[in-house]
């Protein structure tokens, strides 16, 4: 007949996403498909509070996006090292009977149950974080360029979509400086509507500071090819057009000076361009210089 002394229950464990700058892929989660967080402990007598469930922390690389599989809605974006966000909160613990004591009922025999936890299917996606993103049609020479100016070893072959996942490489510059470049899967006309590798390709571009457009020297219409690439970016996300661009005409070892002047006359004047050859190393030093200059030039925006 003593007073109420039932303690509150502990909350269920949270599932937390944490940014880790030392991770570059989601491969460590490949077989980590079912995550079950533990329940909170029941409250005890003498108003003892139950222990909270032990939180589960999932470390992910910077640039990771968490979505709900059913709705497709983006729930979280991890951008900073050490950033922790509660992705799936644990259920609230119940209230002990001491909360329900009144002047007329000083020994209540009921308590409030805790809330059920949340369950569902979730999706993690990674947007590549690189200084420079290579943009071009399949077989424009992106993988070959990456293999020459970095120590990366991308798969190279003479057919479309050799690259189906992004490849990252570090470009060594002068005086020990370096920057990161990503060879992204080839874009095709209609990619913004999901054709080809579609959105799997375009989502990575959003994280690159500079876009390096690669157009092969043997293209039938260099400006048209660039316009198609530009249009796909605009259709996917108009804000991509605010990034800094550099055009590179690849396979230029097959061009003489007269042909270069003719091609230059038709290229858009507002964007700088260079002529390169990954086979002969033509123009690669100039390419690095221009990329470094663009990366280190503050972007002026109009308010």
Q: Are strands 210-216 and 178-183 parallel, antiparallel or unpaired?
A: unpaired
| 15-19, strands of its sheet edge to edge | 56-60, 15-19, 84-88
Domain 1-126 in CATH 2.70.210.12? The answer is yes
What digits encode the pLDDT tens for the residues 204-257?
Answer: 677 778 899 999 998 889 999 899 888 888 887 788 888 899 999 999 998 999
Domain 1-126 and domain 132-295, same fold? Reply is no
What is the structure's pLDDT at 261? 93
Homologous superfamily of domain range 132-295: P-loop containing nucleotide triphosphate hydrolases (3.40.50.300)
Six token digits for residue 127: 């947007």
What is the structure's pLDDT at 202? 65
Range among 127-131, 154-158, 258-262 with highest mean pLDDT value: 258-262
> Is 186 in contact with 109 (CB distance < 8 Å)?
no
> Is 209 in contact with 243 (CB distance < 8 Å)?
yes
Residue among 204, 214, 272 at smallest CA distance from 237: 204
Torsion of CA 157, 163, 169, 171, to 10 degrees: 60
Integer-rounded Cα radius of gyration of the chain:
28
- The whole-number average pLDDT for the span 168-174 is 81
What digits encode the pLDDT tens for the residues 84-99?
Answer: 999 989 888 777 666 6
CA atoms of 120 and 89, how far apart (whole Å): 12
Lookup result for tokens 């940014």: 19
Lowest mean pLDDT, pick from 31-35, 128-132, 147-151, 156-160: 156-160
What is the structure's pLDDT at 44? 67
User: Kindly report the CA angle at 197 between 231 and 180, in degrees rounded to 5?
Assistant: 80
Residue among 153, 174, 151 at smallest CA distance from 162: 153
Sign of CA dihedral 59, 57, 122, 34: positive
Q: Are strands 56-60 and 15-19 parallel, antiparallel or unpaired?
A: parallel
- Domain extent listing, the chain: 1-126, 132-295
| 64-68, strands of its sheet edge to edge | 74-78, 64-68, 122-126
Instruction: Report the predicted TM-score, pTM, of the whole model to 2 decimal places.
Output: 0.58
């Amino acid at each position: 007949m003593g007073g109420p002394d039932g303690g509150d229950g502990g909350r269920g464990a949270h599932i937390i996403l944490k940014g880790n700058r030392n991770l570059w892929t989601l491969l460590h989660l490949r077989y980590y498909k079912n995550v079950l967080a533990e329940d909170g402990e029941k409250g005890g007598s003498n108003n003892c509070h139950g222990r909270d469930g032990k939180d589960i922390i999932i470390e992910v690389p910077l640039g990771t996006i968490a979505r709900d599989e059913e709705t497709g809605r983006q729930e979280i974006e991890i951008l900073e090292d050490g950033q922790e966000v509660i992705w799936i909160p644990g259920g609230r613990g119940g209230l002990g009977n001491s909360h329900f004591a009144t002047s007329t009922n000083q020994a209540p025999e009921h308590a409030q149950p805790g809330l059920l936890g949340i369950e569902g299917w979730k999706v993690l996606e990674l947007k590549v974080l690189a200084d420079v993103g290579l943009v071009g049609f399949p077989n424009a020479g992106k993988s070959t360029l990456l293999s020459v100016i970095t120590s990366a070893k991308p798969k190279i072959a003479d057919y479309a979509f050799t690259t189906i996942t992004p490849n990252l490489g570090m470009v060594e510059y002068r005086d020990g400086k370096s920057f990161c470049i990503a060879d992204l899967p080839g874009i095709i006309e209609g990619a913004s509507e999901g054709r080809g590798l579609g959105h799997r390709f375009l989502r990575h571009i959003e994280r690159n500071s500079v876009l390096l457009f690669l157009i092969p020297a043997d293209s039938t219409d260099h400006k048209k090819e660039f316009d198609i690439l530009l249009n796909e970016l605009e259709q996917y996300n108009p804000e991509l057009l605010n990034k800094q661009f550099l055009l590179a005409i690849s396979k230029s070892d097959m061009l003489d000076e007269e042909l270069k002047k003719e091609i230059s006359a038709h290229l858009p004047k507002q964007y700088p361009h260079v002529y390169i050859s990954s086979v002969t190393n033509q123009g690669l030093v100039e390419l690095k210089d221009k990329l470094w200059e663009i990366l280190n030039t503050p972007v002026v925006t109009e308010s």
